[in-house]
Structure 1
């Protein structure tokens, strides 16, 4: 994936763009095939050890030292191919009626707020990449509302995750120089089609965990880079801005690390996304309300929440001019009626547009 950074001047421009846009799929495919041949060739077979490794790591002593390698490097660590159906159509409430708890609801509200702030920055960055005018507050509200509606649908269908803007796509737009909404619609249709084919998910589940971790390292690095790139619209040499960014990043890493130390002792190896909830059940914050304790401990063990809170408080309390802060210059609602190109970039299909126009906060 990093090799494409050195291709400037080696390939022609068109070919260079193709290589850059396919750097992640090509590297994943090559490594994936290599891991498959290693697994089929017996590189990860150990005498007396079964490839079906329980997640609790309760193993015999002879296999304990090989458990990590087998679990993270084998291409058949998951038995999804044997158990997944060829076609499975999801339906609403397939896992039962949703259950609401105050503490988990409060956590999701704060996390959704963080995701919304990230989406606002992504909208503005994407508009600059495609040489379009910045969106109006109505367009931003419409985007956040649609994300919330899609998260509601995801909850009804029991997907386990909400819907938000994928910040990495701004990097994809920058590489491919393509931001056609029609292409995104076709891509979404393909994803919906593949979602009902169980074997497609089984194939993806065969990706070794070590390879998946490498992909996440690359993708999250892009998220950080895209986020920091928005600082170019501020006065980056300002001591005020340098201090706010540095303090926010430092506290966003150190405070969650402190809270994550308070985890109940267990022989189970918890996934990373369970760590905040494990810390929440035995965190350092103790008040008269256990539900509130759980919520505060969980929120302060999440880096993105702490970073947002610190940056928000400092940026809005430390004195600074609008130019120094890099406050976004949004388009005015009057520009929609006078600029035809604005309608072309941000308009919705007819029926959806008429539906959104009924609400004043969702109008462009």
Structure 2
């Protein structure tokens, strides 16, 4: 879920079209391959889209793939990793405040395509934001050093599954927003929900600019043709 939101935020900061479903599926699919390799090499962490890098994209206004590739080469082959590791933590904290704040504001900017004079939309937005903050805080109060959260049954996998979901503010906010948006006056409010604006971005062929933004480099599109 974090990666899907980061994809959309990156596209907006790069002044690209919203990624269609095919592009999102392709990105998440390759992310799954990365997680598989993470497990094989025993990294202990899973691959995900970095929210910090998305914020950095908006801060620097540099969205070129070539820049990212060259930077990755320097990090692997050079001593630049040691330079970043030597940066004091207060500097990192200040930078994170800016980066996460920027990404959060980009997410809220998508509301411009909806009618925010509608009480329905105001209710959904406010409730999803409030519950997205309060419910994870409530669950985190019951998290002890043994990693036993509010849900504490004899099935450890079930405890971890449920607690992980409800300790994530973004996940809780998404669940509440999607549920309310698809149950409250759905048919009467398609225009208020901004649905007409999103229609042309649902498919790869829906907008001729998608090919410019989302074509894979090195002619890889012939192996992964858009659907």
Relative to structure 1, the CA distance from residue 325 to residue 210 in structure 2 (aligned partners, 3 Å threshold; closer, same or farther) is same
CA drift of 1:306 comes to: 1.6
Q: Where does structure 2 lack aligned partners over 5 or more consecutive residues?
A: none
Answering whether residue 141 of structure 2 is matched by residue 261 of structure 1, we say yes
Partner of 1:224: 104
* Match among 44, 49, 55 for residue 165 of structure 1: 49
Partner of 1:189: 73
Retained in 2: the 8 A contact 1:259–1:284? yes
Q: Does the residue aligned with 2:182 lie in a helix, a strand or coil?
A: helix
Relative to structure 1, the CA distance from residue 173 to residue 285 in structure 2 (aligned partners, 3 Å threshold; closer, same or farther) is closer
Retained in 1: the 8 A contact 2:215–2:221? yes
Relative to structure 1, the CA distance from residue 334 to residue 355 in structure 2 (aligned partners, 3 Å threshold; closer, same or farther) is same
Partner of 1:143: 27
CA drift of 1:315 comes to: 1.7
Relative to structure 1, the CA distance from residue 325 to residue 166 in structure 2 (aligned partners, 3 Å threshold; closer, same or farther) is farther
Please give the alpha-carbon distance, in whole angstroms, between the structure 2 residues aligned to 1:304 and 1:134.
Answer: 20
Answering whether residue 150 of structure 2 is matched by residue 284 of structure 1, we say yes
CA drift of 1:324 comes to: 1.6
CA drift of 1:261 comes to: 1.6
Please give the alpha-carbon distance, in whole angstroms, between the structure 1 residues aligned to 2:185 and 2:126.
Answer: 17
The structure whose residues are more often helix, as a share, is 2
Partner of 1:27: none
Deviations 1:241-300 (A, max 9, x none): 211111111111111211212233x6xxxxxxxxxxx5x41x232445343123222322
Q: Which has the higher contact order (CA 8 A, sep 6+)?
A: 2
Partner of 1:208: 88
Partner of 1:308: 174
Relative to structure 1, the CA distance from residue 205 to residue 191 in structure 2 (aligned partners, 3 Å threshold; closer, same or farther) is closer
CA drift of 1:309 comes to: 1.6
Please give the alpha-carbon distance, in whole angstroms, between the structure 2 residues aligned to 1:174 and 1:185.
Answer: 18
Please give the alpha-carbon distance, in whole angstroms, between the structure 2 residues aligned to 1:313 and 1:173.
Answer: 31
* Match among 301, 319, 340 for residue 185 of structure 2: 319
Please give the alpha-carbon distance, in whole angstroms, between the structure 1 residues aligned to 2:84 and 2:204.
Answer: 44
Q: Does the residue aligned with 1:325 lie in a helix, a strand or coil?
A: coil
Please give the alpha-carbon distance, in whole angstroms, between the structure 1 residues aligned to 2:11 and 2:193.
Answer: 15
Q: Where does structure 1 lack aligned partners over 5 or more consecutive residues?
A: 1-113, 267-277, 358-362
Deviations 1:29-80 (A, max 9, x none): xxxxxxxxxxxxxxxxxxxxxxxxxxxxxxxxxxxxxxxxxxxxxxxxxxxx
CA drift of 1:228 comes to: 0.9
CA drift of 1:158 comes to: 3.6
